Amino acid sequence: MHEREREHLARLLSAAVRAAQPASGLPRHLPEPTAGGRIVVVGAGKAAAAMALAAEQHYADLAAEGRLTGEVATRHGHRLATRHITVTEAGHPVPDAGSELAALRALELVASARADDTILVLLSGGASAIWAAPVEGVTLADKQAVTRALLKSGARIHDINAVRKHLSRIKGGRLAAARGGRLITLAISDVPGDDPDVIGSGPTVPDRATLEQARAIVAGLDPTIPESILTALTDPRNETLKPGDPAFERADYRIVAAPALSLAAAKLEAERLGYEVEVLGAAVEGEARDVARAHARLALASPSGTRLALLSGGELTVTVSGSGAGGPNQEYALALAIALDGAPGITAIAADTDGTDGGQGAADDPAGAVVLPDTLARATGIGLSGLACLENNDSTGFLQAIGDLVSTGPTQTNVNDFRAILIDR
């Protein structure tokens, strides 16, 4: 049932993802090398492998001359085959040993660049976990502990990254301070507002967040946070680099893809399918279940005879109090289904454009879920309570049982969450 609606929802998600592919958006921003200089590539994020591959193809002649080198890191399961730029894999959303090695390698490569080299930093969502070089006195295990606590708390990405930056030797502008040549950062934004100092925790730009702010964020977390974290956040040596620092001379930064671009592509596709379109914003934030209820009210208030698509992007959060499994998009979908309560003619999709929403860090984790008019009825038919699953933060269990999960595999890009509600009455 509802095959046409499922197809329309899938087409909108596909349009959003296609618009953010590095192969189409990156090449026109790639810099020309200096005379005789090399292009030294470093990078991190869920799109890093695809960005590296696009750079290799663009610089094919340069590679033949031995003037293209580098290494990027991506999430486990997101590797692509490259010839000249090494691709490694690391942990996300919690860093692992691969994350630490990747960050240290990036610092080494940037420091080794000559004055006539161009350092090309390829940055995308997920870089904050994929590059992890703890400051002195903080271990990788300590950073893993504080990352888990931040994620569980439902903190905004801006707050999570404010803490990460002050516990890192590569974030908060410190990668720029390590360089030997000119530096150009090309970034795919996955954060509401597209703030460069938040994307990947801003390794090559000045930081607006302060140690004091990072301490205040951590103060509200689980009291079992390692003492080393609290000590590091009182050490003035761990303050990040600020505007005016000489590290940012001869440094350029460009955003090559962002959530608004993907929403625009989805809007065109929805119009092709015959829907009027209302874009609710590319930077929607908030608790997933609360945003879902607000969006359900908008959908239910639409007049009869309407063919309308409500589109939104951004990054939602989940405050975890239960023992279930899920992610922000799945929790949004479950809460939306409950709020719509089987209203006819309303369907929806919520998915992360990188292909992974929550999960266990595996390449086959679900990207999100669809919502159909019979979602709750099918669950009731097998003895499953939507409300009980929502209270237990078990959206995966609910949606998997009724076959409403969306699985795309790694998409090789990341412009954050994508949501569409289709109203066809």
Domain that holds residue 26: 21-257
Edge to edge, the sheet with strand 417-424 lists: 276-287, 307-317, 417-424, 346-352, 368-371, 405-406
CATH number at residue 404: 3.40.1480.10
Query: Within this chain, do residues 239 and 97 fall inside the same structural domain, yes or no?
Result: yes
Q: Residue for token digits 């003035």?
A: 236
Query: Within this chain, do residues 186 and 151 fall inside the same structural domain, yes or no?
Result: yes
CATH number at residue 98: 3.40.50.10180
Taking a C-beta distance cutoff of 8 angstroms, is the pair 418, 16 a contact? yes
Which residues of the chain fall short of a pLDDT of 50? none
How many other C-beta atoms can be found within 10 angstroms of the C-beta atom of residue 290? 13
pLDDT at 1: 62
Query: Within this chain, do residues 217 and 252 fall inside the same structural domain, yes or no?
Result: yes
Where do the DSSP E strands lie in 321-416?
346-352, 368-371, 405-406
Edge to edge, the sheet with strand 118-123 lists: 86-90, 68-75, 39-44, 118-123, 182-188, 251-257
Beta bridge partners of 88: 73
pLDDT at 336: 98
Q: pTM, whole model, 2 decimals?
A: 0.91
Total domains present in the chain = 2
**CB neighbour class for 383 (10 Å; exposed up to 12, middle 13-18, buried from 19):** exposed
